[in-house]
Structure 1
Amino acid sequence: MRTTTGTEHRDAVIVGGGHNGLVAAAYLARAGRRVLVLERLDQVGGAAVSAHPFDGVDARLSRYSYLVSLLPRRIVDDLGARVQLARRRWSSYTPNPADGGRTGLLIGPESTFAAVGAAADEAGFAEFYRRCATVTTRLWPTLTEPLQTRTALRRTVCSAGGEAAWQAMIERPVGEAITDAVADDLVRGVMATDALIGTFADMHDQSLIQNRCLLYHLIGGGNGDWDVPIGGMGAVSGALAAAATGFGAEILTGAEVYAIDADGMVHYRRTDGEYRVSADHVLANVTPAVLAGLMGEEEPAIAPGAQVKVNLMLRRLPRLRDEKVSAEQAFGGTFHINENFGQLRDAYRQAEAGSVPEPVPCEIYCHTLADPSILSESLRVAGAHTLTVFGLHTPHTLAHGQDGGRYRDTLTAAVLDSLDTVLAEPIRDVVWLDAAGRPCIETKTTLDLDATLGMTNGHIFHGALQWPFAEDDEPLSTPAQRWGVDTPHERILLCGSGSRRGGAVSGIGGHNAAMAVLES
């Protein structure tokens, strides 16, 4: 292998071409900075990518991340990115596990609380989210501004009558507010799941990591709507990459960074040799643990990821046991399975004790009901659909010492078995077969995320989510500190999900790192 000894210089080098890195590159290049993005894989996008995972099947699935809520319209408009989103008509459907799914709770234009014996909880359900909105609508605009302090934000929320909501969401375990708001176990579970996506916690955990997860799931746009990306997640990353290169940023794929110096020197290799590039600022779109490794420092502890994702290609949507709800209604929003409040608690305890939960709490999203464009015309005519199944409470600790393939098979079976408990037919019976006659089922575990995407411990947020504000005693003297992207090194900034207000497909980490650089 040839080694290149010469050193080029850039204003900014971005390590990692995920969507946050692309946002940062676009903003900096738009401002006239010389920007180089280095991506280890052969395509940009990180977890926000699409793929044809099944041999001979012309369906382009969102392989890892799958919905968009936290991407501010301001970022899309600033960059002129051609990102299109579709609103889902229904919010959610939850089959009642108590009767095997013969009844269920549909939430949307025509909610059916009475169908599961929870009519008395409908008002409390609505009031809970109204109170949450007094917090989220005031926090949302601040995510693309310099950090405010806890006291300043609390003052803003409380001045709008949100004292009780602040206490419920920020100060006390949110499980208390949910159980105070409604009495039915199924309704409580619907409310609790947003606090547990990708987060391994009990609803009454005193660390409040579940509160932070709930806050981020409800804060997008101030109202918490989760939308379908037209064309899949790869279309989102593609639009951001086009914006970055359009402004003049250079993107190199197949470029593996293997070392970063505190003075801004970045060392990387490609197939034809090893290179180095110096920069005024290095923006790290990798996990804090990966960054520490690249800098030869002790890696910080990263919380375990806690999810499994199963992508399915179906011949048609499966039949339901609930005859009062159509498949289009049930799968048109988020389809909750075995996620009653008590089931979530029991699943957490089983996983904490070292066992895969039985049943695994799951939720389903059907991309093709809102956006059939990811399917070929022949698949659309045939009535095919894709399903994304997201399993909760499967922490990375369960994978320790496991063979990756065997662990994947175990979780796949557990997820599909969970679905079968509330469907009128086995889900395996409606799975499409690929060109070789194999079922179109693709499972991604925390082991896969760690090995393929460099997500430490398979944590989809690069670690436990942080509050989107600074504590009153935190230093905010530098641009990097004020924007929540600082590291111990002046030239090195975080720009991904591991930054203060990172997490999910938002671009906020990239935006805020770029703003810190432009203020420096």
Structure 2
Amino acid sequence: MPERTSYDAVIVGGGHNGLVAAAYLARAGRSVLVLERLDHTGGAAVSTRAFAGVDARLSRYSYLVSLLPPKIVRDLGLRFAVRKRTVSSYTPAVRAGRPTGLLVGGGEARTRESFAELTGSEREFAAWQGFYGTTRRLAERVFPTLTEPLPTRAALRAAVDDDATWHALFERPLGELVEETFTDDLVRGVVLTDALIGTFAAAHDPSLRQNRCFLYHVIGGGTGDWDVPLGGMGALTDALAEAARGAGAEIVTDCAVTGLATDGRAAEVTCARGTIGARRVLVNASPRELAHLLGEDPPPPAEGAQLKVNMLLTRLPRLRDSRVDPREAFAGTFHVAEGYGQLERSYQQAASGELPAAPPSEIYCHSLTDPSILGADLVRRGYQTLTLFGLHAPARLFTADNDATRERLLAATLAELDTHLAEPLADCLARDADGRPCIEAKSPLDLDAELGLPGGNIFHRELAFPYADPEDGQGGGAPARWGVATGHPNVLLCGAGAVRGGGVSGIPGHNAAMAVLEEG
């Protein structure tokens, strides 16, 4: 049978958002073709055997799930589940010359006690409870809007129905709220970290990019919880690919798209299969890549700012704070060098072109919550994974010599972690089949080269508040209503670069599909 040469929708990129869009459109009876340049689907949401001869499937680039709406899982009948972490976070510290730390989780009484031991009073815990009670109410009101047509700013403000919270999170630099609410430097830093994931900003940045990042990190699921994907992140994208194929979508891998032409009514996509016609093209790639395909000028550069590190250990390291079991400390988010003052110093050093002297990072252990990602023998022998996400590592620091800078930053990051351990982390690293330590690091430039993330930006471009902005160039019609419009009526963004994009959510894929179906 000859290959089909025209489709209702061609989707450029088989990452999780493209697969979500494909599944929805195919289930609605549309003819759908997904073209993926790599030899597998999943994009950044994959599980990989990263170390030679080792039976461990790590979520290589994206780790936890918060923003994926249960609605998408239900609508598409996905065989996918997440599991709650028993501990939210642990942050080691030294007070009065003694190793200590802040444990959040294990029940309210346990958390209250940890706050009291760290700060010497009940005040910070009460402030913490009040602060996250407020963000939870915000999440309950904002999260449902993410899979609805894009609200106006006034409509979203009315939905939030709390002028003080709106003013603090949507109009003022986040640092003002953090400093008004908390007094302890460590507690302030733990709060601020959610504003800096993949985002290079100071607490008082007037652009409010830190506020936008913080918002998306505290509204997921209407709770702000970050959960572990059972079977690894690849379990989600495998389920999505199965759902899309089961609904009738065609998925072609090893097929890079090299060009896109449109007159606003019909489009032609050029790839290894030749030229394919489409009524609509949904682009699950960055706005930079879209401009390249169209032969247009690219948007302003978007810079990523993170170091990603994957590790396999023969055992979890012992902590200097011997009162805490490493299985608790690493089950949640383990914060390193993320005090409020430390974060500001690291930002200023990186902004001046230097590597942070004490690189901030956060770590968690997937296999403590979900050992299924490890082979049975590794589980029996007590092996564990560690995933580290380094902050304030902007792409600009790596441009002169990516390899050397990555290795310097990795060494400094692990050395900073070692200050809180009772044994060097290197002593706990497993070895692969060739005898090499099981550790890999990815800089922003690596993420650009491997995944097409512009400047390593995990959000494809600057995050936007989840409401309509008259200056965002969204144009008119259904794509603008759903936040997925481009400068061409029949070309839509369905990836992280859409309004309400970023993270493992499927929301841009859902919204692009809804825009197509709304237009008929």
Same fold (TM over 0.5): yes
Give the alignment of 1:274-293 within 5 angstroms.
274-293=273-292
Answer whether contact 1:173 1:204 (CA < 8 A) is retained: yes
* Residue 243 of structure 2: aligned partner: 243
1:222-237 aligned at under 5 Å gives the runs 222-237=222-237
1:101, 1:321 within 8 Å by CA — same for their partners in 2? Answer: no
**1:104-183 counterparts in 2 under 5 A?**
104-108=101-105, 109=107, 110-111=110-111, 112-117=114-119, 119=121, 120-158=123-161, 162-183=162-183
State the distance in 2 between where 1:96 and 1:443 align.
Answer: 25
Q: Are 2:475 and 2:485, in contact at CA under 8 Å, matched by a contact in 1?
A: no
Determine if the alignment matches structure 1 residue 9 to structure 2 residue 6.
yes
Mean CA deviation greater in 499-508 or 97-106: 97-106
Tell me the TM-score normalized by structure 1.
0.95
Q: Distance in 1 between matches of 2:391 and 2:87?
A: 22
Identify the residue that residue 405 of structure 1 maps to in structure 2: 403
Question: How far 1:472 moved relative to its partner?
Answer: 6.3
Alignment of 1:358-437 (within 5 A): 358-402=357-401, 404-437=402-435
| Displacement after TM superposition at 1:401 (Å) | 2.1
Amino acid of the residue matched to residue 452 of structure 2? G
Instruction: Rate the CA distance shift 1:6–1:310 in 2: closer, same or farther, 3 A.
Output: closer
Query: Deviation at 1:125?
Result: 1.1
What one-letter code is carried by the residue in structure 2 that aligns with 1:494? L
Amino acid at match of 1:406: A
* Distance of 1:248 and 1:433 partners within structure 2: 43
Distance change (3 Å), C-alpha of 1:156 and 1:473: farther
Decide whether the 8 Å contact of 1:97 with 1:338 is kept in 2: no
Q: 1:156 Cα deviation (Å)?
A: 2.2
What amino acid does structure 2 have at the position aligned with 1:284? V
Q: CA deviation at 1:222?
A: 1.2
Normalising to structure 2: TM-score of the pair? 0.95
**Contact 1:102–1:322 (8 Å) recurs in 2:** yes
Bigger shift: 405-414 or 218-227?
A: 405-414
Query: Cα distance, 1:325 vs. partner?
Result: 1.0
Cα 1:98–1:396 shift into 2, 3 Å: farther
CA contact (8 A) 1:321 1:423 kept: yes
Tell me which amino acid in the other structure corresponds to 1:45.
G
Q: Give distance in 2, aligned partners of 1:325 and 1:514.
A: 47
Residues 468/100 of structure 1: CA separation in 2 closer, same or farther (3 Å cut): farther
Secondary structure (helix, strand or coil) at the match of 1:344 reads helix
Name the residue aligned to 2:331. Answer: 332
Alignment check: 8 A CA contact 1:121 1:184 kept: yes
Measured in 2, the distance between the counterparts of 1:213 and 1:155 equals 21
Contact between 1:134 and 1:165, CA under 8 Å: does it hold in 2? no
Aligned partners of 1:101 and 1:422 also within 8 Å: no
Question: For 1:481-520, what aligned pairs fall within 5 Å after superposition?
Answer: 481-520=480-519
Q: Quick one: which amino acid aligns to residue 337 of structure 2?
A: N
Superposed CA RMSD in Å reads 1.5
Give the 3-state SS of the residue equivalent to 1:103 in structure 2: strand
Match of 1:454 in 2: 452
Q: How many equivalent pairs are there?
A: 508
Read off the aligned partner of 1:44 and give its amino acid letter.
Answer: T
* Range with greater deviation from structure 2 (132-141 or 69-78): 132-141
Q: Deviation of residue 369 (structure 1)?
A: 0.5
CA distance 1:445–1:118, shift in 2 (3 Å)? farther
List per-residue Cα deviations over 1:290-331 (Å, max 9, x = no partner): 110110000001321000011010010000011211111111
Superposed counterparts of 1:463-474, under 5 Å = 463-471=461-469
Which amino acid counterpart does residue 232 of structure 1 have in structure 2? G
Contact 1:149–1:472 (CA under 8 A) maintained in structure 2: no
d(CA) in 1 for partners of 2:220, 2:440: 29
Return the offset for 1:118. Answer: 5.1
Q: CA deviation at 1:447?
A: 1.1
Cα contact 2:475–2:487 (8 A) shared by 1: no
CA shift for structure 1 position 135: 2.1
Q: Is the 8 A contact 1:302 1:464 kept in 2?
A: no
Q: Tell me, what secondary structure is at the counterpart of 2:387?
A: strand
Q: Distance in 2 between matches of 1:507 and 1:100?
A: 47
Q: Which residue of 2 aligns with 1:66?
A: 63
In 1, Cα distance between the equivalents of 2:499 and 2:309?
29
Unaligned runs of 5+ in 1: none
